[in-house]
Amino acid sequence: MEKIILVRYTEIHLKGLNRPFFEKKLISNMKGALRGIPSKIAHEQGRIYVHSIPEDSFDTAVDRLTRVFGIHSLSPAYVVDKDWDNVINTCAELMQQEIERRGGGPASFKVFARRSDKHYFMNSDAINHEMGYQMLIRFPELHVDIRKPEISLCIEIRDSAYIYCSEIPCANGMPVGSAGKATLLISGGIDSPVAGYMMAKRGLTLSAVHFYSYPYTSERARDKVIDLARLLSRYALPIRLYLVPFTDIQMKIYDDCPEKETTVLMRRLMMKIAERIADGEGSRALITGESLGQVASQTLESLCVTDDAVSMPVFRPLIGFDKDEIMDLSRKIGTYETSILPYEDCCTVFVPKHPVTKPVLEDIRASEAAVDFAPLIEKAIADTEIMVVGER
Ligand code: ATP
Ligand code: MG
């Protein structure tokens, strides 16, 4: 009897002729997620099985796979030869574990049998009835409830018998890398890691750009961003992170541009540098954590002025989200606790007292053109530090 992980995927089914491509990506990402854990992956008839996992790594393997985009759900399952006595004994053992896990006492159950092997000597109805009876005579605390069972005993008769009780919901989405590559502007805040998560979920490989303003922002602020990228990489695979020194550009804006325009000008320059970096590494789009109306730089007018700075599409997956909704997601993906650590971001340095909330494009373009930013942009890019951040 072997314990394996049975993996289900859904949306990939929709992809017609591209299906093998998506499945290959998914399996390769699963292998990445299971790095360091000896295991074998087998793929057949719309299912993926992970087997040969050492017992002491089993729970870690399950945990890591729950974060692989493209997986709909998984079940730790026993695989046994489909000899009926074997199947009964395994079901009894699993049921015993399940009853103990629930703390004992009465429980309702139902058997869900599926028979892909049409030559098996019983059909699924017969298996349901017979196994239900076998469980009832062994476990007096059980009773059958076919509408809302507390324990679902699932039996799949294929090449072997697969037996399991739980179905663990996973990350869904599309395999990372199946939809191309995009570059996330990552701050130390709550929003941008969530934005990155959402786009990786649609199959994008991420790289990330962070602007820091040392000495106005601290080493710890920078480390926090590296930590956030690492947490994000648990879903998004290893991320190439670009750390761009931004102090000189911010000082120049502060010294030479109208105070109320400083934030929107800063955002345009960030976008321009991010686009250059994105271009250099084959990304086709930028991603930000902006949400409509959240702050002065996120009004419709400001967003239009920011967009005008670049020609790449800018994805803003949080555009229609309330802050509460973003915070919920950030808790769910595990970035919240790090995001709320109280270190400054370069956006919070030199904040104008009265920022424009309805910037006029021509005015902003004129203010930007009046200052020669080009050498500073080149220098910032030349001094950018690059690291690959990734764990599972
Ligand atoms: P966040 O919670 O992600 O910091 P925010 O609500 O604080 O977002 P802003 O500070 O206006 O909003 O930033 C909007 C977006 O601009 C961020 O979501 C992020 O994509 C990008 N951004 C802001 N600061 C930086 C930075 N220092 N480096 C890279 N990108 C940044
Ligand atoms: Mg921020």
Helices marked H in 237-316: 247-256, 262-280, 300-307
- Phi (first) and psi of residue 352, to 5 degrees: -65, 150
What pairing do the DSSP bridges indicate for beta strands 40-44 and 47-51? antiparallel
Ligand 1 atom nearest the C-alpha of 289 is 18
* pLDDT digits (tens), the chain, 392 positions: 899 999 999 766 666 767 888 999 999 999 999 999 999 999 987 789 999 999 999 999 999 999 999 999 999 999 999 999 999 999 999 999 999 999 999 999 999 999 998 999 999 999 999 999 999 999 999 999 999 999 999 999 999 999 999 999 999 999 999 999 999 999 999 999 999 999 999 999 999 999 999 888 888 999 999 999 999 999 999 999 999 999 999 999 999 999 999 999 999 999 999 999 999 999 999 999 999 988 878 899 999 999 999 999 999 999 999 999 999 999 999 999 999 998 777 666 677 778 888 999 999 999 999 999 999 999 999 999 999 999 64
pTM above 0.85, yes or no: yes
Per-residue confidence (pLDDT) for residue 346, from 0 to 100: 65
Ligand 1 residue neighbourhood (C-beta within 6 Å): 185-187, 189-192, 209-211, 270, 288-290, 294-295, 297, 345-347
DSSP state of 45: T
Residue with tokens 């049921």: 95
User: Which 3 state secondary structure label does DSSP give 43?
Assistant: strand
DSSP state of 15: G
Question: Which amino acid residue places its CA nearest to atom 25 of ligand 1?
Answer: 187
